[in-house]
Amino acid sequence: MEIRRVGVVGAGQMGSGIAHVLALSGYEVLVTDTSPEALAALPRTVARNMDRQVTKGTVSGADRDAALKRLRPTPSLSLLGQCDMVIEAATEREAVKIAIFESLVPHLAPRTILATNTSSIPITRLAARTDRPERFLGVHFMNPVPVMQLVELIRGLATSDETFAAAEELVKRLGKTAAVARDYPAFIVNRILLPMINEAAFALMEGVGDVVSIDTAMKLGTNQPMGPLELADFIGLDTCLSIMTVLHDGLGDSKYRPCPLLRTYVEAGWLGRKAKRGFYDYRGETPVPSR
């Protein structure tokens, strides 16, 4: 099935990144969000990120301008009916995603593929809440989307071969590499990465190290570009907590219990970069530990 027009639901970090790479690869992109502010900010955010690539020389100014013309902030879900595929990238809460599918599905053409960018929630369970389990799958981009090469593809129990092939084709056209994960909680990347981030929060809570020592140790000790606490702030502490909760509930092993300190930060509203404060405080010149 030829995909030309793609809808994106959610204009946050991931939705704007997904819209960015889709528009640059020639797709017409309709983006919607419940937050008018997030929707209004979308073209500016994407333009700014594309400018980084123009400065770098990996994208020409003309391609950026053409891509921005293909990017259409869309006030209502109902307008996504004209899309060949819709990718949901809203908040990592199952109830939010299900509510989106329930209001979206009546507007979709029968052949439209519905995908979710969920970090962790079982695809089969989400698919069962739509009218199209055969045309539903996980297309899991990594943050920041314009830079990260990987996309995890996750079939639900009912996902058809045709649907999977269309998603594989889209990933190829984006110039990215697909890894296929089975439909278990948090798939591959977050099944391995988030327990590491959670463990860093436990190390902080137990005083094994302070914020800077933990991040420095892991950056210089294992050559990761960001330390686990810096990365948690980058992902969003609410998203990290949601992923650990899905792992703990889904796999039933106490080793996945979310770190109480991580929960405390989320309850304080210190959600990381997007809230200007998480494990670090981003309100000054340079990030400093927030406690």
Ligand X SMILES: CC(=O)CC(=O)SCCNC(=O)CCNC(=O)[C@H](O)C(C)(C)COP(=O)(O)OP(=O)(O)OC[C@H]1O[C@@H](n2cnc3c(N)ncnc32)[C@H](O)[C@@H]1OP(=O)(O)O
Q: How far is the CB of 60 from ligand NDP (least distance, A)?
A: 27
Distance CA 126, CA 271 (A): 25
Per 3-state DSSP, what percentage of the chain is helix, strand, and coil (rounded to 5)? 50, 15, 35
Binding residues for ligand X, rule: CB under 6 A, are 49, 52-53, 56, 119, 142-144, 146-148, 189-190, 193, 225-226, 231, 235
Residue with tokens 């333009």: 47
172 a known binding residue?
no
69 a known binding residue?
no
Question: What distances in angstroms separate CA 151 from CA 72, 86, 178, 209, one per listed residue?
Answer: 23, 16, 5, 33
CA 191 to chain centroid, in Å, comes to 15
Q: State the catalytic residues.
A: 119, 140, 152, 190
10 a known binding residue?
yes
Q: How far is the CB of 56 from ligand X (least distance, A)?
A: 4
Distance CA 64, CA 3 (A): 21
92 a known binding residue?
yes
The secondary structure element, H or E, covering residue 192 is helix 189-205
Which is nearer to ligand NDP, 35 or 222 (by Cβ)?
A: 35
- Residues paired with 7 in a beta bridge: 30, 86
Q: How far is the CB of 228 from ligand NDP (least distance, A)?
A: 13
Residue nearest to ligand NDP (CB): 12
> Which of ligand NDP, ligand X, none does residue 52 bind to, with CB < 5 to 8 Å depending on kind?
ligand X
> Which of ligand NDP, ligand X, none does residue 96 bind to, with CB < 5 to 8 Å depending on kind?
ligand NDP
223 a known binding residue?
no
Question: What distances in angstroms separate CA 87 from CA 19, 60, 129, 227, one per listed residue?
Answer: 10, 26, 15, 29
Closest CA to 153 of 137, 142, 165: 137
> Which of ligand NDP, ligand X, none does residue 6 bind to, with CB < 5 to 8 Å depending on kind?
none
Helix, strand or coil, per DSSP, at residue 129:
coil
> Which of ligand NDP, ligand X, none does residue 35 bind to, with CB < 5 to 8 Å depending on kind?
ligand NDP
Which is nearer to ligand X, 124 or 143 (by Cβ)?
A: 143
Pair 13, 143: CB distance under 8 Å: yes
Binding residues for ligand NDP, rule: CB under 6 A, are 9-15, 33-35, 38, 89-92, 96, 99-100, 117-119, 141-143, 235-236, 239, 274
230 a known binding residue?
no
Q: How far is the CB of 136 from ligand NDP (least distance, A)?
A: 15
> Which of ligand X, ligand NDP, none does residue 13 bind to, with CB < 5 to 8 Å depending on kind?
ligand NDP
Q: How far is the CB of 121 from ligand X (least distance, A)?
A: 11
Q: Can you say whether the dihedral through the CA atoms of 76, 77, 78, 81 is positive or negative?
A: positive
Distance CA 170, CA 241 (A): 30
Which amino acids are annotated as binding site for NAD(+), given as ranges?
A: 10-15, 33, 92, 97, 119, 143, 274
For the annotated binding site, the residues are 10-15, 33, 92, 97, 119, 143, 274
